[in-house]
């Protein structure tokens, strides 16, 4: 590694989402001059928030959570001193159609993958036959060879082939996978679904744990993360959309804002897949032929229903709801709404295509009715205010065709890299996938200067029993 060659070399990172933030964090460990361009006023990308005039607090567009298996995201938070912004929940709550709560938590002493055996047995809405179906399918999907054998399968087809009943699919597989992968099981790939269960449940005791933001996402990424990166020397250009980047004399000429231009030795495009091809000159785009096909990546919407009520519904921090349109509900506690105290809940509905055309007021009241039923709230709370936010391109759908469309972060041109959860990370559309892509893009830049060490974090270690039973870890 030649540190002298790095010193003073300029890097442009376009896109202030988690991919761009991660790339900037990794490269700030070296003596580069780093400039991060963001078209919007705030950083964070899809992990952002908005503010309504009559509500003093920020509102997250959609609830984002991480899991214990998200080692690179958690590593980024550690390096930027953001860990205090998240709470770690070791117990989840599933609520059945009758309003009965079923806690889901790990054994205090059993190793993975046995640590969650009791948690599954406590899900009494699953019959003994359904639980046996699940155990049988998990056993068959766990070995690394299964990812090869069933590579072209859609998950629902695979489940039916493995004799999973419709009730089992609805009450277990859909509950976990639709939220994780953002698409119906009839569309998502077996490979992506397998990764969710192997990495999240079978690999390590801590993998299933959930990390929930305790403050608005904008405060985390636009304020605190930006402050830490600024202290590390990163220069920010907010409200500065990049119009085009071209390549002349071994440098990247970047046109941004309202006619401004700057020259950089290195360039990272960390923007969504549907925007990435638009910023490159024809010559640069010809060097990245995979960008010609990224328009084929299918997107999936996520709807977030925000409710402000006159009284609390539950003391639970969050819950997973069965047999309802609502999927996850998050309890944000008491808030100030105009001149009174209210109680704020956010309900997340992934793969929400079916909600198109429903009026926001009607959807909010439907969701409130589901919450009242789930938590057996009497008397029912009064709806003081509501807000429905649908991100139409919230995530990409993890279809079997997806992997062939995802480009690598490094390109044929030294000093040019791509980032974004849609690039080839091996992960679905998550905060972890975005951070991994940023770190991989940073590594692509660093290779130009002879640095070949990883900048991210290793996966959680595989438990010995999981290695012995299925050979997990061999594919790493």
Task: Please give the annotated binding residues for FAD, written as ranges.
Answer: 38-39
Residues that constitute the known binding site: 38-39
* Structure tokens given for 37: 């361009």
Nearest to 343 by CA among 361, 331, 329: 331
- Crossing angle for the helix pair 18-27 and 71-79, to the nearest 10 degrees: 60
b/e per residue, 163-178, with b = 16+ CB within 10 A?
ebeeebbebbbbbebb
b/e per residue, 423-461, with b = 16+ CB within 10 A?
bbbebbbbbbbbbbbbbbbbbbbbebbebeeebbbebbe
Determine how many CB atoms are found less than 10 A away from the CB of residue 90.
13
Instruction: Provide the H-helix boundaries in 311-459.
Output: 360-375, 402-405, 431-447
Determine how many CB atoms are found less than 10 A away from the CB of residue 362.
11
Question: Alpha-carbon distance 145 to 233, whole Å?
Answer: 46
* Structure tokens given for 272: 């969504």
What phi, psi does 271 have (nearest 5°)? -120, 165
**DSSP category for residue 280:** B
Cβ-proximal residues to 115 (8 Å cutoff; 6+ apart), any chain = 106, 107, 205
Cβ(396)–Cβ(184) under 8 Å? Answer: no
């Amino acid at each position: 590694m030649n540190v002298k060659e790095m010193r003073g070399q300029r890097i442009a990172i376009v896109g202030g989402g988690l991919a761009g933030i991660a790339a900037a964090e990794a490269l700030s460990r070296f003596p580069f001059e780093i400039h991060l361009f963001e078209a919007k006023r705030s950083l964070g990308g899809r992990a952002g928030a908005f503010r309504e005039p009559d509500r003093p607090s920020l509102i997250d567009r959609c609830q984002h959570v991480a899991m214990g298996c998200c080692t690179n995201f958690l590593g980024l938070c550690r390096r930027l001193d953001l860990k205090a912004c998240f709470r770690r929940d070791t117990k989840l709550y599933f609520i059945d159609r009758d309003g009965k709560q079923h806690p889901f938590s790990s054994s205090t002493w059993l190793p993975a993958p046995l640590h969650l055996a009791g948690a599954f047995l406590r899900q009494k809405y699953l019959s003994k036959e359904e639980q046996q179906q699940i155990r049988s399918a998990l056993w068959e999907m766990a070995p690394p060879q299964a990812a090869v054998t069933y590579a072209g399968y859609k998950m629902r087809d695979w489940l039916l082939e493995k004799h999973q009943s419709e009730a089992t699919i609805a009450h277990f597989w859909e509950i976990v996978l639709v939220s994780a992968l953002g698409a119906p099981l009839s569309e998502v790939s077996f490979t992506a679904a397998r990764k969710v269960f192997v990495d999240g449940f079978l690999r390590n005791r801590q993998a299933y744990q959930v990390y929930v933001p305790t403050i608005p996402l904008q405060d985390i990424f636009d304020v605190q993360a930006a402050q830490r990166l600024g202290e590390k020397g990163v220069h920010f250009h907010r409200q500065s959309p990049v119009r085009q980047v071209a390549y002349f004399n071994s440098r990247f000429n970047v046109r941004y804002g309202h006619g401004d231009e700057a020259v950089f030795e290195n360039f990272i495009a960390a923007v969504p897949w549907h925007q990435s091809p638009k910023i490159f000159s024809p010559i640069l785009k010809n060097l990245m032929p995979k960008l010609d096909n990224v328009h084929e990546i299918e997107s999936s919407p996520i709807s977030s229903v925000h409710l402000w009520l006159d009284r609390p519904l539950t003391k639970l921090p969050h819950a997973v709801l069965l047999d309802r349109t609502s999927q996850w509900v998050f309890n944000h506690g008491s808030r100030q709404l105009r001149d009174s105290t209210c109680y704020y809940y956010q309900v997340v509905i992934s793969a929400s295509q079916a909600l198109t055309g429903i009026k926001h007021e009607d959807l909010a009241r439907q969701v409130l009715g589901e919450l009242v039923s789930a938590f057996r709230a009497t008397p029912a709370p009064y709806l003081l205010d509501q807000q429905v936010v649908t991100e139409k391109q919230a995530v990409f759908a993890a279809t079997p065709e997806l992997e062939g469309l995802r480009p690598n972060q490094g390109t044929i041109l030294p000093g040019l890299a791509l980032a974004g959860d849609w690039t080839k990370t091996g992960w679905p559309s998550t905060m972890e996938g975005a951070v991994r892509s940023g770190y991989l893009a940073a590594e692509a830049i660093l290779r130009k200067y002879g640095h070949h060490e990883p900048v991210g974090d290793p996966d959680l270690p595989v438990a010995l029993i999981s290695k012995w039973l299925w050979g997990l870890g061999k594919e790493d």
